[in-house]
Amino acid sequence: MSIINQNKLPLSSHHYFHPRPSPRVITRVHCLITTSSKPKVEPNQLVIESPSVPPTQFLATSKAPPQANDPSLKSTWLHRVWLASGCTTVLISLAKSLVGASSMHIWVEPTVAGLVGYVMADLGSGVYHWGIDNYGSASTPIFGNQIEAFQGHHKWPWTITKRQFANNLHALARTVTFIVLPINLLFDDPTFLGFAGMFSGCIMFSQQFHAWAHGTKSRLPPLVAALQDLGIIVSRSQHGAHHRAPYNNNYCIVSGVWNEVLDNHKVFEVLEMLLFFKLGVRPRSWTEPNSDWSEEIGDQFL
């Protein structure tokens, strides 16, 4: 689940128009042959128009792919502060859970709660990912930037591997801080804190699991590659299927354990049908892929 701003989608060179606008052309196709010098226009007449559009309108919105040294991919001190804050908040939850479990001599409940938090974080990442992939736009309140970022990610998925660590995680770390810090202050139950700590920690690092899923095995740390192979974090092959047509599966990005269940039982397809019949809203997966979601490879990153 990503809420990091990605670079806006560039237009490929084949989208550019000829420098000189073409004159307006109207082609009439008649379904009835007539000998009149002025053909009679029938109701089923087909008119095809090629309106003239100033090429600058398109050229102004095009931009080159992001470079490896793009400042938007670098971590700032503010990013690092938020990441440290989020990690500290998660560690406090887990530490309070361990201390409480030790003092109360209970270990099974907090351990099970932590495992449930890990599993539910994967489900939560999938539901959220499905939602922002399929609904809303850049102008959507609150979630607009996240929606735009995920649309950009489908165009240039490899850019996520070039984001520095704190840059990639700071937004989720900030959200975790605001939500989990009050929980740490208000609750002392080790079972609940075990769930909260594991769930929030996995959600916060899901964006990094996501980035690793786009990496090549030879460039990944050996421990990360081993965790992917064991299915503890989402694997490269599993998430790779999400970036291939029809772009409507494998949404979960923590461990991916829910992907097969959700896809085989067509859970998201059922939700899409319900939303369509109740609200008349079509998901993007019904009309994709289009050129905006066609992956383009940036040679400068290879």
| Rg of the chain on CA atoms, in Å | 25
What pLDDT, on the 0 to 100 scale, is given for residue 148?
76
What pLDDT, on the 0 to 100 scale, is given for residue 52?
40
What pLDDT, on the 0 to 100 scale, is given for residue 157?
76
What pLDDT, on the 0 to 100 scale, is given for residue 93?
98
CA distances to 125, 173, 281 from 184, rounded to whole Å, are 22, 15, 39
What pLDDT, on the 0 to 100 scale, is given for residue 116?
98
Q: Which residues of the chain have pLDDT under 50?
A: 1-39, 41, 45-63, 291, 293-302
pTM, full prediction = 0.73
Q: How far is residue 34's CA from residue 28's CA, in Å, rounded to a whole number?
A: 14
Amino acid at 233: I
Among 6, 14, 133, 4, which residue's Cα sits nearest to residue 62?
A: 14
Alpha helices in 105-221 (DSSP H): 108-134, 144-155, 165-186, 190-213
What pLDDT, on the 0 to 100 scale, is given for residue 154?
67
DSSP strand pairing (46-49 vs 26-29): antiparallel
Structure tokens at 21: 């606008």
**DSSP class of 24:** P
Q: How far is residue 43's CA from residue 33's CA, in Å, rounded to a whole number?
A: 14
User: By three-state DSSP, how is residue 27 classified?
Assistant: strand
CB atoms within 10 A of CB 218: 6
Strand partners, 85: none
Query: Do residues 212 and 220 make contact, with C-beta atoms less than 8 angstroms apart?
Result: yes
Structure tokens at 67: 């470079």
CA distances to 26, 48, 222, 251 from 238, rounded to whole Å, are 49, 45, 18, 10
Strand partners, 29: 46
Q: How far is residue 128's CA from residue 76's CA, in Å, rounded to a whole number?
A: 27
